[in-house]
Amino acid sequence: MENFIAYNPVTLHFGKNILSTLGPTLKEYGNRVLLVYGKGSVRKNGVYDRIMDGLKMQGFDVCEYSGIQSNPLIEDVDAAAAIGREHQVDVILALGGGSVIDSSKIISVTIPVEHPAWDFFNGKAKAVKAVPLVAILTLAATGSEMNPFAVVSNHALGQKSAFGSPLTFPRHSFLDPQLTLTVPRNYTAYGIADLIAHCFEAWFGIGETTLTDRFVISIIREAMEYGPKLLGDLQNYEYREKIMFAATMALNGMTMYGRSTGDWGVHSAGHCLSLLYDVPHGASLTIVYPAWMRHFQNKAGDRIAQLGTTLFGEPLTAGESINRIEAFFKSLGCPTRLSDLNIPGDHRQPLFDAMVHSKVNGGSMKMKEEDYAALIDLYL
Ligand code: NZQ
Ligand code: ZN
């Protein structure tokens, strides 16, 4: 086992109608709220109106920033921070999935400073102060609601990068599975795949830690059992609840206890697909993961076989395990090759260049340029 520090300050509010305590929670920080949300799903499903009515009734002074994109953009972060600064907001309320919560984390540390938000990502600036962030999650996938990480794209620089600091944890996160009932089938599947991929990244990290491996396997099993059931019955509250809980546990630090690092090479490669072709995050992972496992089968074969054998309950070789995992992703309706997405053009060179530019690498399985080329060939 590797030495580790466990730290997670997020207060998680989980369950049906849990938002009844949103008002008093926000009041702890003040009266002026910056509400951040995406491109319109919360307006369509009525969640925005419910939240706004409640906030107005309780006397909050609310300004808002909407239009955060999936695969969020740094320009939106800077623009939202300017609004928050102008209104001297006391608290940020993020209403959405990972893209909205990630953006809000960076907005929270950008409001108190004068420099561009990207300075946090390129290491020019450290986060020293943050406007408190409260999150309401509407999509189960990333775990952003209970971790400090934020992933944002900068197309001018050709980068999709991550930032995190102890200041970028949400103070509170509200998770009512009812709010996820309207997530369409494709994004529901991508969320299930993403949470499984987070477990894989931990599994292939550095550090032998049997108890944490058991946590990881339990989370994947939950997703493999209830994910397909949910996709067959999108309105089922209990399935939504199970997947929401699993997604939060998959990236809140727990799967990293006893490891010095996860691998994260697949995430890093997947971000290049999102950057170039706006591939949804979860879909980028179902494309890259089978290829990555095939490519590193020689080095990580035992670990892959152990994963497959444990998950599928029968002795499997590494190769058989990869085939079964790939078939599972397919059964969710996720792409497992870039060609499944029918994006016109020749992608080999742009992808290779993006991987070189982003210095794609894993914590455990190190990658060089020859690995990039081989990986791309395996998932095109
Ligand atoms: O923008 P709106 O209209 O709200 O629609 C969104 C969006 O189109 C929609 N949606 C969200 N909640 C809904 C809903 N539609 C109907 N009903 C609801 N209740 O779903 C679409 C996807 O939303 P998004 O927030 O982009 O998805 P997700 O939660 O998967 O977040 C993806 C982003 O998170 C990053 C990814 O890289 C990507 O940029 N990640 C963040 C991580 C973290 N903070 O720890 C880790 C992850 O590995 C990941 O990298
Ligand atoms: Zn992910």
What are 94-116's pLDDT values in tens digits? 999 999 999 999 999 999 999 99
Q: Read off the tokens for 29.
A: 């920080």
The pLDDT assigned to 317 comes to 98
pLDDT band, very low/low/confident/very high, at 345 (cuts 50, 70, 90): very high
Final residue before a domain boundary, out of 132, 161, 180: 180
Does residue 237 sit in the same domain as residue 202?
yes
Which residues approach ligand 1 with their CB closer than 6 A?
38-42, 45, 70-72, 96-100, 102, 138-139, 141-144, 147, 149-151, 179-180, 182-183, 187, 191, 194, 251, 267, 281-282
How far, in Å, is the centroid of ligand 1 from the Cα of 368? 30
- Domain CATH number, residue 210: 1.20.1090.10
Given a contact cutoff of 8 angstroms between Cβ atoms, the answer to whether 73 and 66 are in contact is no
Residue 197 lies in a domain: yes
Q: What residues contact 57, with CB distance under 8 A and at least 6 apart?
A: none
- Going by C-alpha positions, the residue among 87, 88, 81, 72 that lies closest to residue 108 is 81
Does residue 334 sit in the same domain as residue 220?
yes
Does residue 131 sit in the same domain as residue 221?
no
Does residue 225 sit in the same domain as residue 303?
yes
Nearest ligand, measured from the Cα of 234: 1
Does residue 242 sit in the same domain as residue 300?
yes
Q: Which amino acid is at 72?
A: P
- Going by C-alpha positions, the residue among 234, 151, 221 that lies closest to residue 189 is 234
Main-chain dihedrals φ then ψ at residue 43, nearest 5 degrees: -80, -40
- Domain CATH number, residue 145: 3.40.50.1970
Q: Report CA-CA distances (Å) from 107 to 11, 114, 307, 334.
A: 20, 12, 38, 32
Residue 5 lies in a domain: no
pLDDT band, very low/low/confident/very high, at 356 (cuts 50, 70, 90): very high
Q: Report CA-CA distances (Å) from 295 to 68, 197, 367, 374.
A: 35, 17, 11, 7
Does residue 289 sit in the same domain as residue 250?
yes
How far, in Å, is the centroid of ligand 2 from the Cα of 142? 5
What are 161-195's pLDDT values in tens digits? 999 999 999 999 999 999 999 999 999 999 999 99
The pLDDT assigned to 227 comes to 98
Find the DSSP H helices in the chain.
Answer: 22-27, 41-44, 47-57, 74-86, 98-110, 118-121, 185-203, 210-231, 237-250, 265-277, 281-295, 297-312, 318-331, 348-357, 369-379
Does residue 215 sit in the same domain as residue 264?
yes
Q: What residues contact 158, with CB distance under 8 A and at least 6 apart?
A: 275, 354, 357, 358
Q: What's the structural domain count of the chain?
A: 2
How far, in Å, is the centroid of ligand 2 from the Cα of 31? 34
Among 153, 180, 187, say which to mutate for ligand 1: greatest number of ligand atoms within 8 Å of CB.
Answer: 187
Q: Read off the tokens for 185.
A: 């089938």
Percent of the chain with pLDDT over 90: 100
Q: Read off the tokens for 199.
A: 């477990």
Does residue 159 sit in the same domain as residue 55?
yes
Given a contact cutoff of 8 angstroms between Cβ atoms, the answer to whether 278 and 26 are in contact is no
Q: Read off the tokens for 78.
A: 């800077």
What are 322-343's pLDDT values in tens digits? 999 999 999 999 999 999 999 9
Does residue 170 sit in the same domain as residue 213?
no
Sign of CA dihedral 300, 306, 308, 314: positive
- Using only C-alpha atoms, what is the Rg of the chain? 20
Nearest ligand, measured from the Cα of 160: 1
Question: Ligand 1: which atom is nearest the Cα of residue 97?
Answer: 25
Residue 169 lies in a domain: yes
The pLDDT assigned to 139 comes to 98
How far, in Å, is the centroid of ligand 2 from the Cα of 282? 6
Residue 251 lies in a domain: yes
Final residue before a domain boundary, out of 128, 160, 180: 180
Residue 215 lies in a domain: yes
CA angle 218, 340, 357 (to 5 degrees): 80
Share the mean pLDDT of the chain: 98
Nearest CA to ligand 1 atom 39: 71
Nearest ligand, measured from the Cα of 162: 1
Among 279, 281, 285, 286, say which to mutate for ligand 1: greatest number of ligand atoms within 8 Å of CB.
Answer: 281
d(Cα 54, Cα 246) in Å, to the nearest integer? 29
For the segment 29-40, the average pLDDT, to the nearest whole number, is: 98
Domain residues for the domain of 341 are: 185-379
Nearest ligand, measured from the Cα of 47: 1
pTM to 2 decimal places: 0.98
Residue 6 lies in a domain: no
The dihedral over CA atoms of 138, 142, 145, 149, expressed in degrees to the nearest 10, equals -140
How far, in Å, is the centroid of ligand 1 from the Cα of 370? 32
How far, in Å, is the centroid of ligand 1 from the Cα of 308? 28
Does residue 214 sit in the same domain as residue 337?
yes
Does residue 161 sit in the same domain as residue 214?
no
d(Cα 204, Cα 186) in Å, to the nearest integer? 27
Final residue before a domain boundary, out of 126, 154, 180: 180
pLDDT band, very low/low/confident/very high, at 363 (cuts 50, 70, 90): very high
Pairing of strands 149-154, 159-164: antiparallel
Residue 47 lies in a domain: yes
Does residue 30 sit in the same domain as residue 172?
yes
The pLDDT assigned to 58 comes to 97
Residue 44 lies in a domain: yes
How far, in Å, is the centroid of ligand 2 from the Cα of 220? 14
The pLDDT assigned to 111 comes to 98
